[in-house]
Structure 1
């Protein structure tokens, strides 16, 4: 598993610090041991020195007594006491220095007894009369005790010298290991730091190369994405023959291949659609001419029968002829409605300035009976839009409001509200209303809520309105309930602002 650069740096510094701490602890321990054994060596020297001083003082004490006996010098007595006092002080100091050594403590106990005996022995001669014979007796009698003192001191010194040898050996070891530990610590720390910096440098170099590769890759990907965006924009503008030249074997290359296939399919489909539209135009022409011609002929025949045989037709026959004329007119309206529905969105829209208030008044004169009152506000907007499409919407909505009214007279109210990106128009009547369960059904083709024998209706008018608004990317909804009138609310997009050019 490849570690990140930050993790490597932290890990490297952790190892370096750990090694420095470890070697520093080893160096500190070595220094402490060196100091300890140096103190112990000094301590041993002190014991040896005090031991030698003690024996020398006991010999000096004997010398002071001999001097008194030979020279009859009373000052030797005072010096004798001072020497004994120093000997006792040396003994007490040795007891403190060897407090951690039981064997030396036992020897010091014996030494204390010998010192006491030697003191008593020498003190007795200080009471005698000075003479040469007294000196001879002193030396001969004290020889054994001095020998015991010498042997005891020698044993003490031998043990201390043994300890001194061990301690000096340990001291020598730590004298050599301490500098070595410090040097090793410094060398290890330097090696780790150099290794760490080398690793960091290599990682930074690799990251720089990777960053450069990523930059180049990003630039290449951005270029290829720009080609894809350009293709999408040209497809939006209607150019379905555009292709992308991208031979890459990655996801973008696969996407480019898919887009090329998509544009090819779109081109084929739109070519086929144009062919179908032409066929539909031909059908519309046939329907408007070939279908209407025999229809008009049948209407003419009915009129001839009514005019030629006015006295021979019974009331029942006249009723049948009226029903036939109504069905023929409904069939003609149905054909005209189908043609109008088919042409929605297929004819070129002609943008022009439209005063909506004036447009509504013109629609009123065409489709609303004189017995109806139409309320139009004075603040209706002026739009730059396709006049025929907007006129068709108002014509169908206002015509339906009058046609399906349950009374011969009524009120139709047209209002407008300006929104952010569109206008919201409302066509409201005071007719019988529409139950909520039929609000969606009325926009479907050939759907009508009234008996066809009561009011001739093709059921296409609101379908045409819905299709026109869908082409404009607008919406329509109905607000109605039975007995409360009906309001059709639809939106119409505002014209896009025309950019103003700055003269240079």
Structure 2
């Protein structure tokens, strides 16, 4: 299975858990909302039932007050209680539409209240108003009063009303308590479910991430180890991966790359061995005939004695060509060996190195080499820097056409590099030759005019570039020449022996 598929499945599973959490929370929230609605309904029923009881008591109290005082203002609570009763009864019927038992109780309450009002309260009030109309009116009032209070018919009906209202209150109070408990349970269950599923999703996510991360990390570390081995030149290591995913393909590609590098390295090693063999042949087999030719020319020159100047000139020219060819061979060998073997670094004073170079070049009386007066410690391959400076300084003297030739060398630290300049007061170099002079076998003057192999500046540039430095030339005809090059503070380079 591909890694991206594993990641998608893991994310999908986590999302599925969160969806389940959301749905479960939604369902429980609906249950909580329904429970809250039922609690609020029971509360409203209890309140309306209490208001109904109060209305009945107000009606009863108003009737009694009027019967005792006979004053009309005392009967007003009766009428207000009857009106309030009708309002609260209507409210209770609406609130209890889904509760048949309560509707039955309300019907009983309404029946008892209507009987009390129609047969007791209303007739008594009317009889009280007409009590002074005559003996019959007084007799009727006494009958009704006796029926109400002596036989307690009024009290019986009021007690029945109170009984049913108490039933409604008890039922709704009990129902409210049950709903409140159910509500708390639902809330707790919702919180626990949400928390539990969320924690589960987080645990699954972390476990999946750790598992995938550990697997991927282990395989990536193996690839990193392979890359490190390749960087160190160990091409034998191979990766083993059977997961058949993107990293497996990458591992296979790295194995192929390692194999190709191993083959290329073996081929390069073989080519280097052949090049070393060629250098040995050139160094020993080609130089020997050249030395023999040179010795033979010297013997002929000694044996012929006095002869024409032209013959001596030709012999001298022949020896010069032999020396040039030998120098050319040495230059080619020096150029080819750059970058193939590590050279030990040394710490030395640049000023002392320039003094050694000055002594080895042995400038003529009209030639002057100016070196820095301040010491500058350098840690690098001394032989390479010496080869660069010897070529540049010797060129500055060799090609200088001034009566008093001068070559000055300066050096300074420039960031992570040494900036070294070699300037002369010679004839200068035309701009069109500024790049060509660094090519192999390139010279400005004819070789018969000034002895040169044309490979010195090519060696200089290659050494500097192997050190990851850069060289440039600033010159105009008649204004001298300045070679400026950078030399890293400490950067190893390799050089193959001849």
Short-chain TM bin: 0.5 to 0.7
Q: Secondary structure at the match of 1:390?
A: helix
Asked if 1:193 is matched to 2:188, the reply is yes
Q: Which moved more, 1:447-456 or 1:407-416?
A: 447-456
Looking at structure 1, the residues matched to 427 and 16 of structure 2 have their Cα atoms a distance apart, in angstroms, of: 77
Instruction: Choose the corresponding residue for 2:269, options 253, 274, 277.
Output: 274
Match of 1:465 in 2: 460
1:36 — aligned with what?
Answer: 48
Bigger Cα Rg = 1
In structure 1, the residue matched to 2:171 is: 176
Report the counterpart of residue 394 of structure 1 in structure 2.
389
SS at match of 1:346: strand
Give the equivalent residue in structure 1 for 2:337. Answer: 343
Which residue number corresponds to residue 94 of structure 1?
A: 78
What does the per-residue CA deviation read over 1:224-265, in whole Å, with 9 as the maximum and x for residues that have no partner? 554444444444333333445555545555444444433333
Looking at structure 1, the residues matched to 211 and 81 of structure 2 have their Cα atoms a distance apart, in angstroms, of 82
Flag the 1:143–1:486 CA change in 2: closer, same or farther, 3 A.
Answer: same
Structure 1 residue aligned with 2:481, among 477, 485, 491?
Answer: 485
Match of 1:409 among 394, 404, 410: 404
Contact kept? 2:369, 2:408, Cα under 8 Å = yes
2:58 to 33, 36, 46: 46
Q: Deviations over 1:115-167 (max 9, x none)?
A: 77x47x55xxxxxxxxxxxxxxx3147679999999xxxxxx99xx89x97x9
Task: Report if aligned partners of 1:430, 1:485 keep a CA contact under 8 Å in 2.
Answer: yes
1:364 matched to 2:368: no
For residues 168 and 372 of structure 1, the distance between their equivalents in structure 2, rounded to whole angstroms, comes to 138
Partner of 2:259: 264
Cα deviation 1:367-419 (Å, max 9, x = unaligned): 46322221222433445543322221111121222233342433222222245
Query: For 2:141 and 2:348, how far apart are their aligned partners in 1?
Result: 148
2-structure distance, mates of 1:280, 1:257: 34
Runs (5+) with no aligned partner, structure 1: 58-82, 123-137, 151-156, 497-504
The equivalent of 1:62 in structure 2 is none
Q: 1:309 to 1:115 in 2, by over 3 A?
A: farther
User: Which residue of structure 1 lines up, in the alignment, with residue 135 of structure 2?
Assistant: 139
**In 2, distance between residues paired with 1:415 and 1:276?**
40
**8 Å contact from structure 1 (residues 27, 181) kept in 2:** yes
Change (3 A) 1:368 1:192: farther
With the length of structure 1 as denominator, give the TM-score of the two structures.
0.66
Count of aligned positions? 435
User: Does the 8 Å CA contact 1:425/1:489 hold for their aligned counterparts?
Assistant: yes
Q: Residue 357 of structure 1 contacts residue 377 of structure 1 at CA under 8 Å; is this kept in 2?
A: yes
> Could you say what the CA RMSD is over the residues aligned between the two structures, in angstroms?
5.0
Unaligned runs of 5+ in 2: 1-11, 88-116, 147-152, 493-498
In the aligned structure 2, how far is the partner of 1:386 from the partner of 1:411?
27
Secondary structure of the residue aligned to 2:47 is helix
CA separation of 1:398 and 1:178: change in aligned 2, threshold 3 A: farther
Aligned to 2:101: none
Of structures 1 and 2, the one with the larger relative CO (CA 8 A, separation 6+) is 2
TM-score (norm 2): 0.67
Change (3 A) 1:347 1:3: closer
1:217 positional shift: 5.7
| Correspondence list, 1:19-418, <5 A | 19-20=31-32, 23-51=35-63, 54=66, 56-57=67-68, 83-85=69-71, 88-98=72-82, 118=130, 122=133, 138-140=134-136, 175-177=170-172, 179-191=174-186, 193-194=188-189, 196-198=191-193, 200-201=195-196, 204=199, 207-208=202-203, 211=206, 215=210, 218=213, 222-244=217-239, 249-292=244-287, 310-311=307-308, 313=310, 330-347=324-341, 349-352=343-346, 354-367=348-361, 369-370=363-364, 371-383=366-378, 385-418=380-413
Q: Which moved more, 1:326-335 or 1:139-148?
A: 139-148
Q: 1:176 to 1:352 in 2, by over 3 A?
A: same
